[in-house]
Structure 1
């Protein structure tokens, strides 16, 4: 009696069931995401980054922070940002603590994964997601969404590495540091999820200017060019 919702609440607890329902509702809104004819000057995106305990989500590594910033067209609003530590419920390797500056003590006091995902997906809404090197971030985000809410990411995800390879086909490497140097973007704090998101957002704005010069006007135009590279 009562169907699926009471069963979920019984299995996961009422609060977690509400959070799962919210995350699922955000995924359903994907049907209203920007269309291919959306002008790049009107495109609403969220540029995000994750820090994790390692590189193997299937091997037990976990998200320890999420950072993100909103960009509308060519406007970056640094006040429209998201940042949270995440409790990984496992020790953080010493080299990762040194790299990210996130200690076991800080992470142990951080919000839970499902709590952070709920807030992050609420921040994202139906915007397109952008990251530098989306393979790592998308795998961890999908694994986290499945584990907490039995759902996978339905948002469109753009990789700035692919855009960089199209715009600059002769570079030997496409790491974030090298591209920031190429486009004269000041480096603030590397391997900090919010700071990396902000720097990637500024890189995206540089890409938008180059695309404008090449008469790439819409999301569909961009995907058409990327499909050829």
Structure 2
């Protein structure tokens, strides 16, 4: 009851249609156990090609979750032993039709009628965390994903966001330090990664995964084998 009251009080200044479904005891129990498991992970000293990675992308209604913008869809794909696992993917819409503007609908192709039938944010987020497990997370322009995951995880699951989340620019600083690459399209064009569809959470996650895989191969050829070595170089 206290958690529900806390969620409602935090949402008081937002769109009244944005009240989220309360998390179930099973969802909360899973998140607590996941966070314990995350503390046991030691990804810094693992070889980059052996990291368990989930690449993700979010489609959102805007850029500011603390001002009421919401997650509309979540996409994810696994990378294992340096290979993109195209058969191991996650995709979920989120029940937030009130948050979908005409501009975002045109950009993403999302429709209000499909969002009306979608899982709640709590269910979609819990499903993604079950898919990702204790993997290191990767995203392009990851600050966007970080803000929304931090906000949503606390808001609907009553917990802090604990995953290690890396931005693709983390490796770009070594893989292509002198090339002005910013957008996902720029990066994919530079490395010859085909782009079939954009602004779809799963499709963007898939091409971001190919980008990450490509850059890991380049970084390893340059002599960097672990996250720890990359952190040391970037901080030097």
- Root mean square deviation of aligned Cα: 2.2
Mind listing any 5+ residue stretches in structure 1 that lack a counterpart? 1-5
2:84 to 32, 52, 76: 76
1:24 and 1:149 in contact (8 A); partners too: no
Q: What is the CA distance between 1:14 and its match in structure 2?
A: 8.9
- The whole-number CA distance in structure 1 between the counterparts of 2:154 and 2:6 is 15
1:34 and 1:127 in contact (8 A); partners too: no
- The whole-number CA distance in structure 1 between the counterparts of 2:59 and 2:74 is 7
Q: What is the CA distance between 1:42 and its match in structure 2?
A: 1.2
1:164 and 1:174 in contact (8 A); partners too: no
Q: Which residue of 2 aligns with 1:220?
A: 228
CA, structure 1 residues 161+10, in 2 after alignment: closer, same or farther (shift >3 Å)?
Answer: closer
SS of the equivalent of 2:26 reads helix
CA, structure 1 residues 54+8, in 2 after alignment: closer, same or farther (shift >3 Å)?
Answer: closer
Task: Show structure 1 runs of 4+ deviating over 6 A.
Answer: 6-15
Indicate the larger mover: 59-68 or 88-97: 88-97
Q: Which residue of 2 aligns with 1:53?
A: 61
The count of aligned residue pairs is 223
Mind listing any 5+ residue stretches in structure 2 that lack a counterpart? 8-20
* Residue 175, structure 1, aligned to residue 183, structure 2: yes
Q: What is the CA distance between 1:73 and its match in structure 2?
A: 2.6
SS of the equivalent of 1:46 reads strand
CA, structure 1 residues 173+217, in 2 after alignment: closer, same or farther (shift >3 Å)?
Answer: closer
Q: What is the CA distance between 1:217 and its match in structure 2?
A: 1.2
1:53 and 1:93 in contact (8 A); partners too: yes
2:74 to 66, 80, 96: 66
